[in-house]
Structure 1
Amino acid sequence: MKISTKGRYGLTIMMELAAKYGEGPTSLKSIAEKNQLSEHYLEQLIAPLRNAGLVKSVRGAYGGYILAKEATEITAGDIIRVLEGPISPVDFTEEDDPAKRDLWLRIRDSIADVLDSTTLDSLVNYEDHETNSNFMFYI
């Protein structure tokens, strides 16, 4: 399974909205400019997210979009499934070899587990512990 730009940019939209949660609506134009993305493409992605109940639109001069729930209640899996469809590394049928079918099911379940255990809040507040090491350099 390869995540397309729909899933990646959709995740970007949602992370931007999560970062500004509680501050009022955010325009797609500001998200597009900040991330150097096409506003028109983001408009296509926001509709399914709104229809799925993940975001709400706010009309008016200072309108835009807000998260429909707190960032701790929305997972990467929620977003990816809305934009990409079901999570599956391959299409397989009941006739497939049982050993291969079991492998594909375990891979699917592992991917789903990672996506479903990763909240928007954890993505927005992510700290890379490997690059934030406590090395001391002397010159």
Structure 2
Amino acid sequence: MRISSKGKYGLMIMIDLAHFGADKPVPLTQVAKRQDVSLNYLEQLAVKLKKAGLLKSIKGPGGGYVLGKEAKDITVYEMLQCLESDLLVANTDEKQGGIMRMLKSQLWDELDARNQEFLKGVTLADLEKEYPEEFSDEYLMYYI
């Protein structure tokens, strides 16, 4: 299984919003600035996450994005499933025979099942609680 930049940056958006948006909507401009990623790219990923029900957008002043459901109820599998075109270890053609068919049934299918089981067992809340606290204070503005 290979996780593309869509999957990696999609997880990053979700972790950032879980951490910084617990009590208010977060504009993607803030996520882009904090994470040093293109706003345009984040917007494309947010559309996919919103379509999957993992994000909600709030319009108007003070608007932005919030999680579509509780962080403890969102799995890594769910997030990656909406962002990645394929989560399989080996994409094999059904027309292949012999050894390739045996590898699929004896190895790849089992590996895919174990990967899915693992990804379904890790939640956004699990990832967010590991967010380094030193990054949280980095973006606070102090006025004198």
CA-atom RMSD in angstroms: 1.8
Give SS of 1:47's match. helix
Structure 2 unmatched ranges of 5 or more: 133-144
For structure 1, the 5+ residue unaligned runs are 129-139
- 5 Å-filtered alignment, 1:38-117, equals 38-94=38-94, 95=97, 97=99, 98-101=101-104, 102-117=106-121
Q: Percent identity?
A: 36
Which deviations, in whole Å up to 9, do the C-alpha atoms of 1:46-80 show, x marking residues without a partner? 00110111110000111100001000000111010
Which of the two has greater helix per residue?
2
User: Does the C-alpha gap of structure 1 residues 24 and 96 become closer, same or farther in structure 2, counting only changes over 3 Å?
Assistant: farther
Q: 1:69-96 CA deviation, whole Å, 9 max, x = no partner?
A: 0000001110101000342011113435
Deviation at 1:114, TM superposition (A): 1.5
Query: Counterparts of 2:45 and 2:68 in 1: how far apart (Å)?
Result: 16
TM-score (normalised: structure 1): 0.85
Alignment TM-score, normalising by the size of structure 2:
0.82
Count of residue pairs the alignment pairs up: 128
The answer on 1:125 being equivalent to 2:129 is yes
Which consecutive segments of 4 or more residues in structure 1 shift more than 2 A? Answer: 93-99
SS of the aligned residue for 1:115 comes to helix
